[in-house]
Amino acid sequence: MEDDAALRVPPTHEIIIVPPPEHHGRHALLQQCIQVRIDVFVTEQRFPLEVEVDEHDPEATHWLLRLTPSNKPIGTIRAHKVEHTSGAYYKLARLVVLKEYRHYKFGRNLVLALHNWAKDNARNSGVIDFVKIVCHSQAARADSAGAVAFYRKLGYEEEGNLFEEDGEPHQKMVARLSLSE
Ligand SMILES: CC(C)(COP(=O)(O)OP(=O)(O)OC[C@H]1O[C@@H](n2cnc3c(N)ncnc32)[C@H](O)[C@@H]1OP(=O)(O)O)[C@@H](O)C(=O)NCCC(=O)NCCS
């Protein structure tokens, strides 16, 4: 069958950043992000519901991808800053796009939105060279290709060995984004 990926026109949509903690509107939009995560990670991929919402959600920065004009939520991603003795980095996590909306570059655009935010945030903290982003990518398993190849296309490289997280194999991946671009 002919590959029609180049012909796919995405439905009209927008990516919004969920307001920070204590700001009006955060709760409702964060709940929408979490519901999309549950639809994918719990219902589709069978990760345990108990681990879906964690200690980082209240303070993290979240993005919501939604259709327009319906405002139907179809994707999300989150980031939080980690202060480490070897230097600060940003942790990318909870990236999902609903199954019926995949392969429109929505996942890529969510990651790029996070990258732009992390670069701005690092510059505002006085960083001048590069910003480091870390994620724990799902690795390939019998019923899923994982996401390592997806992250590689966005400049991420594997670091270390496979490890188990939430009962499934994961791979640490790191991107270093130049701040001079
Ligand atoms: C991973 C995910 C977010 C990708 O979203 P998407 O919108 O379908 O991806 P995009 O359309 O932006 O794909 C961008 C590129 O990556 C490729 N790609 C997408 N998913 C991929 C995968 N799982 N493995 C390898 N390559 C992938 C696409 O073919 C495209 O390549 P191209 O630029 O050469 O054409 C989506 O498949 C998803 O939600 N999966 C389930 C949840 C999940 O695994 N999240 C990641 C947790 S670590």
Range of the domain at 169: 9-178
First to last CA, the chain: 40
Identify whether 3 is part of a domain.
Answer: no
Distances (CA, A) of 145 to 45, 76, 137, 172: 12, 20, 11, 16
SS3 of the chain: CCCCHHHCCCCCEEEEECCCCCCCCHHHHHHHHHHHHHHHHHHHCCCCHHHCCCCCCCCCEEEEEEECCCCCEEEEEEEEEECCCCCCEEEEEEEEECHHHCCCCHHHHHHHHHHHHHHHHHHHCCCCCEEEEEEEEECCECCECCCHHHHHCCCCEECCCCEEECCEEEEEEEEEEECCC
Identify whether 4 is part of a domain.
Answer: no
Identify whether 15 is part of a domain.
Answer: yes
Identify whether 108 is part of a domain.
Answer: yes
Identify whether 20 is part of a domain.
Answer: yes
The minimum-distance atom of ligand 1 relative to the CA of 41 is 42
Residue 149's domain is classified under what CATH number?
A: 3.40.630.30
pLDDT the model gives residue 3: 52
Identify whether 2 is part of a domain.
Answer: no
pTM (2 d.p.): 0.96
Nearest CA to ligand 1 atom 4: 107
pLDDT the model gives residue 142: 79
Identify whether 56 is part of a domain.
Answer: yes
pLDDT tens for residues 60-108? 999 999 999 999 999 999 999 999 988 899 999 999 999 999 999 999 9
Reported confidence tier of residue 7, pLDDT bands at 50, 70, 90: low
Number of domains the chain is built from: 1
Q: Is 107 in the pocket of ligand 1 (CB under 6 A)?
A: yes
Classify residue 39 by burial, with Cβ atoms within 10 Å: 0-12, 13-18, 19+: middle
Cα 140 to averaged position of ligand 1 atoms, centre (Å) = 13
Q: Is 145 in the pocket of ligand 1 (CB under 6 A)?
A: yes
- Please determine, for residue 35, whether its predicted confidence score (pLDDT) is greater than 70: yes
- Please determine, for residue 45, whether its predicted confidence score (pLDDT) is greater than 90: yes
